[in-house]
Amino acid sequence: MRLKAGLIIFLHLIAFGCYKAPVLPEAELAKKMEQRLWEAGAFDFIPADYEIFCHALRIARIHEIQAKSRFFLWRKMDRVRDEYQQLIARGEDLLRLIEDKKRQQEGSLISKLQELEIIIIRLRAISSAINESHEIRQRIIKTELFLAEAQREIGKQRYKEADHALFSARQQALSARQIVLDLFERYMNEDYLSLWQKMAQDTIDQSKKLNSPVIIIDKLERKLFVYSKGKIKSAYNVGLGRFSLANKVHAGDEATPEGKYKIIKKILNSKYYKALLLDYPNDDDKKRFAEMKRKGLIPPLIGIGGLIEIHGGGQDGLTYGCIAMENEDIDEIFPIVEIGTPVTIVGTINRESVILKLVKEL
């Protein structure tokens, strides 16, 4: 009888002891939480916290396995449940942390992107205004390509990649900016601005003294002004060469000279409608050319150049250093100027130039 009872108890113990504990819903939730963290990008945004979370999840899982493998009377599933519940709560905190980090990073990337976009808008405006576009425009395009890439990566929440693209965009934008700053170095220099203003004022005063018209050309503003008796009579838009901001030094540099010149020939039937030939190179130009040649700054076979004209053909034309006007505009000035009419070409007389403002803001 006793043997029978012992056997029954033993078999019951075995049956309950081997009874497989049910899957804990908390374990499933904790696992899902880990998946949510991974999908949210925990590995990228909070790698250390994520690592700790995963480690704790593994420990909880081991505890679960160990608890389940214990004899049913000694199973302490509540402890394991607590562990998982704590992990789920921690996971919620981490998800919020990731969202905060994402918002922060996205905000900072977007502000970097917008900053670069503003630089690009300014660079585009400057390059369009001065036509000296090749190097600048190429870099602008490259910057825009990187910006598009960055934007796409931000959309995909791939912030590291977006930051990398923004870095490359910045490099290109800075290099375009440097080209612009180099081009405008003289235009931002007070000594040059004063000199050009004085040259223009002297010429205006001359028109007053001689009672005859004079021409002043502002290269930066691309304007030709006709003054008579010290007063402005008319102003026209003009087109210049690709490297018009530079002072002409030698043949083929496609720059427009700066200095005091005069008209030496009026050409009625020019290749570009009508033309007024200037006396470039003047003595100052020849002196500067000789000095630069002596210093080896100009290759030996290159000459000083010439045939600098104010001509028709349309102000939009890119010249090799001449000043191009609309045909109807040159029609207007042609009869009022004479051989000997002073023509002063300066970098700019407008200190408040919009282009200069844009350059300063770069």
Partner 1 sequence: MKRFSIFLMMGLVLAFLMASCAKPPTQEMDAAKAAVEACKAEGADVYAKEEFKKLSDDLQAALDQVTAKKYKEAKQALIKIAADAEALKATIPAKKEEAKNEAIAAQQEARTAIDEAKALLEKAPRGKGTKADIEALKADLKGLEDSFPEIQAAIDNGDFFGAKDKAMAIKDKANSISEQIKQAMEKVKK
Is residue 139 at the binding interface for partner 1, with CB under 8 A as the rule?
Answer: yes
Minimum CB distance to partner 1, residue 172 (Å): 9
Residue (131 or 344) nearer to partner 1, CB: 131
Q: Containing H/E element for 325?
A: none
Tell me the closest approach of the beta carbon of residue 1 to partner 1, in angstroms: 11
According to CB under 8 A, which residues from 175 to 234 bind partner 1?
Answer: none
- Residue 80 CB burial class (10 angstroms; 0-12, 13-18, ≥19): buried
For residue 68, count CB atoms less than 10 angstroms from its CB and return exposed for 0-12, middle for 13-18, buried for 19 or more: middle
Cβ(53)–Cβ(37) under 8 Å? yes
Among 122, 177, 242, 262, binds partner 1 (CB under 8 A): 242
Contact positions with partner 1 (CB under 8 A) in 109-128: 127-128
Whether the upstream peptide bond of residue 47 has omega within 30° of 0, thus cis, is no
168, 190 in Cβ contact below 8 A? no
141 contributes a contact to partner 1 by CB under 8 A: yes
Q: How far is the CB of 180 from partner 1 (least distance, A)?
A: 14
Q: How far is the CB of 218 from partner 1 (least distance, A)?
A: 18
Q: Which of 28, 284, 316, 338 binds partner 1 (CB under 8 A)?
A: 316
CB atoms within 10 A of CB 112: 18
Among 10, 16, 19, 167, binds partner 1 (CB under 8 A): 10
> What secondary structure does DSSP assign to 18-51, as a single string?
SPPPPPPHHHHHHHHHHHHHHHHTHHHHSHHHHH
With CB under 8 A as the contact rule, the residue among 16, 66, 93, 338 that binds partner 1 is 66
Q: Which of 145, 235, 251, 336 binds partner 1 (CB under 8 A)?
A: 145
> Which single residue is written with the structure tokens 């969202």?
99
Dihedral Cα 156, 158, 163, 165, nearest 10 deg: -60
The reply to whether 69 sits near partner 1 by the rule CB under 8 A is yes
Check binding of 138 to partner 1 (CB under 8 A).
Answer: yes
CB of 251 closer than 8 Å to CB of 281: no
Q: Could you tell me the two tokens for 168? A: 């490359």
Contacting partner 1 (CB under 8 A), which of 58, 209, 286, 351?
58
Q: What is the largest CA-CA distance in the chain?
A: 145
Residue 262 vs residues 150, 179, 213, 276, 278: alpha-carbon distances, Å: 54, 33, 11, 9, 6
3-state secondary structure (DSSP) of residue 160: helix
Select from 239, 259, 342, 347 the one that contacts partner 1 (CB under 8 A).
239
Q: With CB under 8 A as the contact rule, which of the stretches 3-11, 75-83, 277-285, 297-305 interacts with partner 1?
A: 3-11
Contact flag: residue 317 with partner 1 (CB under 8 A): yes
Q: How far apart are CA 219 and CA 41, in angstroms?
A: 55
Interface with partner 1 by CB under 8 A: which range of 56-64, 209-217, 287-295, 351-359?
Answer: 56-64
The correct pick among 15, 23, 52, 65 for binding partner 1 (CB under 8 A) is 65
136 versus 276: smaller Cβ distance to partner 1: 136
Least distance (Å) from partner 1 to the CB of residue 249? Answer: 22
Which residue type sits at 280?
Answer: Y
Of 108-116, 144-152, 254-262, 274-282, the window that binds partner 1 (rule: CB under 8 A) is: 144-152
Contact set with partner 1 (CB under 8 A): 2-3, 6-7, 10, 14, 31, 34-35, 38, 54, 58, 61-62, 65-66, 69, 127-128, 131, 133-142, 144-145, 148-149, 152-153, 161, 239, 242, 313-314, 316-318
